[in-house]
Structure 1
């Protein structure tokens, strides 16, 4: 049933809102037709090619088959057709699956994500290529569904006025958003213009899940500003955990740093596959491991709920048997206590993450909601519930539609936007140099690093970190964070633009300063390019070089409270603050 948003749409023309939740294993689409003065309805797409059964489904596999020429030949539910594996092998098709993980930030060494190989991309394909193809397919599916449900007249009235919401894991940021937006351009969802690119909005899966819970009437401590709720979005690839509290005006704020773990449902399947490979190595069943793994992934994983109950997986001819391997009639018997070990790292991850959020949150956590496809596992849910509820925290999950939580929540996010404050994940700033001052102990200790500035000739220390926003800071959507800076040039023309790399610091120091002393804890988040041609430089005399040079003073202004980083520059002109344009760029 469609879920209604509370407010009437205030736009002046009809518009279509599409939310794409491209998951690691399954994807979904939700939409809303926005008519001026009418209350929008949030609807899921429930019919897809090769999945048109009565009642429909809200998700399709995130899978593409490519032929030898690199052309897509099957998408989504089409890749589940009977015999398609044989067709693929005979025709030389290549399967692209779990490709979303190729977009992830580099995982930390020693984590499950770093130690688990992910399927390679098809030959000569980049992750943006595959995203482009899949986004184009989702748009075709949305078009066909809307035309069938509402009529082609409705589609034709909105096809040139579509806003997109793309969801992504909590741990992703600007670089991943930039690549997804590039894929949307290449898929011709939007034109490659400033206005076109602004038609794509991003939201984390954790925040989208909060909106889903709210729009489905789940009780989230509506009258208690002093307690929080934890949203656990357990998906195929990632487990995203975000803590919120509800404010008096019914908006929400994050109350801890959101987290993202690569311990979703696919990791259970990969551990099962490893077990089957070890068990059947050097037996006549060795080549049946892929079929056995697929059967486990599609059935056993979802129904498992008791360590005392063995499960029988049919994977070979009924004439096959091997008593030593527990294979009878082509079925292998796997004990429940063995299956539980496939789940154990993921269960432990969720329980540990909830406890860490309890410790770090600015307000006490009183309830936990599990959403996402992996949360449909009774074993996962019951293990988490049994570990967490004795702490005085209620653990719940929606009865229905857990698989469309993120796409529906993406639409609700765009319409309602109830989260008005977020928590900074890292300390952000830029690299600067300072005049060397031997009276400062920290400068004197680094006297051997002193350099001569190329413009003003003074003695400087370089590679100093200048923070603009500190970690674990609650950031309102409209709050600006500033840093005051100067740049120098030998003439005015050299100062018409300024480029700064925004760094994030993830180390233990409360006052990070010397970049080269902790190089592994600093990462380049993005580059801000500012047009400074309107800023009037000062002429300053250099005692060292006995000549004048240009000195440009301005501020970098960053907005961190939105779902995307925004930047501007600020400067003074006759005592009045002026703003100039700045562009945030990711990648090379």
Structure 2
């Protein structure tokens, strides 16, 4: 049964469906953009990069990337400082952290909004257009505003820096933008980011959403051996060979499996999956460790009363955790803020060095001159949750029959530089080649630029869910639930039928419509038809009310003019990073490129 093959329920039934399919090819010939600019919006760090078309055609890996002056870094912290009016950006990145510390010293910080590591607010939560998020001082502001201001700063900074090269040859509105998101994010989060980018001044038609592990895969596919830092590079893999992409970021671990095609493009073999097990899990473990030895929520107190010291402590820990290794027994030494030591002493009546002696850490942790010295065994424990969750998930993926024959694991992302993660993956999956490129932390960013130049390089993806719409069918007492019987124009019908469009695990070719239907109005003055969209992890649900079926969005198809003889041919395309819909009004030939609204 094809999607929308029956008259839709009374709630959305103001149209009819014609069995004749619209077989026209919707491939549009789009001119290649002269400049592609990518924004890698990360949980912990963000940055931008760009390349001109002639650079891409000469060497896809040749591009310009942001250099954060004074910090010897290609990425800056995803940190936003907003003025008291709640709409004006004060600073972003390192400058936001520095400026906020100055405001604290001047005792002027209370009226400002300071956001750090806020990207994960869009993970595994109900997202709404007007949702609020909490800043580091427990104040609330529009999430859309915070994300949009961050994107706008990165966009404007790229234009300012790049203008020296392209001034007079390319206008700002001629740039094609790419924005990265985790592959495990749902459609609602992707749409939220797209709308935030629009609010930041990026035109909708000038924006492509790139999935982070896919982008990293594309970048590493173009790296020759001498630049990949490995004896084996993805560029050497031949048609038919398979590899797994492990994108280890600050917030999420994103995993997907690719197969190389004869064209040397790639297709997805297994639906993207993962979880919130990135580098911030290690930070959480360190925070818990400090609270354990202090005997109360000392880190919470430090954050509330001395936020600048709290930020500085985790900046130090970020540097230290890169050197924690499974084969080194040296102690990890981290200077603690004097304010933290004072908070603990005032609360407990004893110095932290004395408190430690009466804890389970007495033989493995010590204090000297406000520096905590941590034995290697304890420091390695900080990584347990993140690393074990990642390895276990990898085991499950690689044990699936569809992934049989995977030959290599590509490890990318900022957290991929951790010796602890690299060792765990190598130890558990030693039979597979392990590829960690020299530019592992920039692979997503630079791959996003390549994706912008060639968005068809990922030719096939796997549906993560079953998609369908609520419909009705002629009531059949032999198979339908009698409680769902309704009458429409005197005809008995079964309500809440799940009319399936694509199935979980289904192969989705890019640019290929998974459904083509014709719809007509049922009312003379009807101007549109609205469809409720449902998803589920079930392969073939009967009703939209089945456990696990969720209404996730709505599609509105415009129908102009008046009268009953008005038809629209609608094509649904699921193979891209977002769902595309094209509707053609047959009476006028007018084509509408539509989006499913997931933020309803």
Q: Which residue of 1 aligns with 2:264?
A: 250
Q: Among 38, 52, 77, which residue is 1:19 paired with?
A: 38
Using the TM superposition, give the Cα deviation of residue 498 of structure 1 relative to its aligned residue in structure 2, in angstroms. 1.2
2-structure distance, mates of 1:342, 1:449 = 53
Using the TM superposition, give the Cα deviation of residue 12 of structure 1 relative to its aligned residue in structure 2, in angstroms. 7.4
1:220 and 1:283, CA in 2 relative to 1: closer, same or farther beyond 3 A? closer
Using the TM superposition, give the Cα deviation of residue 483 of structure 1 relative to its aligned residue in structure 2, in angstroms. 6.4
Structure 1 unaligned runs (5+)?
1-9, 109-116, 191-195, 539-551
Using the TM superposition, give the Cα deviation of residue 485 of structure 1 relative to its aligned residue in structure 2, in angstroms. 7.7
2-structure distance, mates of 1:43, 1:566 = 29
Q: Among 552, 556, 565, which residue is 1:529 paired with?
A: 556
Using the TM superposition, give the Cα deviation of residue 77 of structure 1 relative to its aligned residue in structure 2, in angstroms. 1.7
1:166 equivalent in alignment to 2:179? yes
* Contact in 2 for aligned 1:291/1:315 (Cα 8 Å): no
User: C-alpha offsets along residues 125-176 of structure 1, whole Å, 9 cap, x if unaligned?
Assistant: 212101111112112321332245x37445xx33231110001001224322
1:32 equivalent in alignment to 2:14? no
1:585 equivalent in alignment to 2:596? yes
2-structure distance, mates of 1:339, 1:21 = 30
Q: Among 296, 314, 334, which residue is 2:335 paired with?
A: 314
1:220 equivalent in alignment to 2:240? no
Deviates more, 1:277-286 or 1:422-431: 277-286
* Contact in 2 for aligned 1:321/1:329 (Cα 8 Å): no
1:309 and 1:323, CA in 2 relative to 1: closer, same or farther beyond 3 A? farther
Q: Which residue of 2 aligns with 1:96?
A: 115
Q: Which has the higher contact order (CA 8 A, sep 6+)?
A: 2
Structure 2 unaligned runs (5+)?
1-28, 128-132, 304-309, 343-350, 357-365
How does the TM-score come out when normalised to structure 2?
Answer: 0.79
Q: Which residue of 2 aligns with 1:462?
A: 495
What is the number of residues matched between the two proteins?
527
* Contact in 2 for aligned 1:96/1:122 (Cα 8 Å): no
* Contact in 1 for aligned 2:332/2:373 (Cα 8 Å): yes
1:358 and 1:88, CA in 2 relative to 1: closer, same or farther beyond 3 A? farther
Using the TM superposition, give the Cα deviation of residue 76 of structure 1 relative to its aligned residue in structure 2, in angstroms. 0.7
Paired residue secondary structure (2:271):
coil
1-structure distance, mates of 2:265, 2:120 = 32
User: C-alpha offsets along residues 426-472 of structure 1, whole Å, 9 cap, x if unaligned?
Assistant: 1111110111112x3x22xx22332222xx22111111101011111
Q: Which residue of 2 aligns with 1:202?
A: 209
* Contact in 1 for aligned 2:475/2:492 (Cα 8 Å): yes
1:459 and 1:369, CA in 2 relative to 1: closer, same or farther beyond 3 A? same
User: C-alpha offsets along residues 296-340 of structure 1, whole Å, 9 cap, x if unaligned?
Assistant: 532221111137432121114599772452211111122222222
2-structure distance, mates of 1:229, 1:580 = 40
Paired residue secondary structure (2:52):
strand
1:118 and 1:471, CA in 2 relative to 1: closer, same or farther beyond 3 A? farther
* Contact in 1 for aligned 2:584/2:592 (Cα 8 Å): no
1-structure distance, mates of 2:186, 2:562 = 31
1:14 and 1:352, CA in 2 relative to 1: closer, same or farther beyond 3 A? closer
2-structure distance, mates of 1:526, 1:143 = 35
2-structure distance, mates of 1:147, 1:87 = 36
Using the TM superposition, give the Cα deviation of residue 18 of structure 1 relative to its aligned residue in structure 2, in angstroms. 0.8
* Contact in 2 for aligned 1:212/1:405 (Cα 8 Å): yes
1-structure distance, mates of 2:81, 2:413 = 25
User: C-alpha offsets along residues 215-237 of structure 1, whole Å, 9 cap, x if unaligned?
Assistant: 22352375544431111111111
Q: Among 473, 485, 490, which residue is 1:450 paired with?
A: 485
Q: Which residue of 2 aligns with 1:186?
A: 199
2-structure distance, mates of 1:535, 1:560 = 31
User: C-alpha offsets along residues 239-259 of structure 1, whole Å, 9 cap, x if unaligned?
Assistant: 111110001111110000111
Using the TM superposition, give the Cα deviation of residue 211 of structure 1 relative to its aligned residue in structure 2, in angstroms. 1.2
RMSD, aligned α-carbons: 3.4
1:242 and 1:88, CA in 2 relative to 1: closer, same or farther beyond 3 A? farther
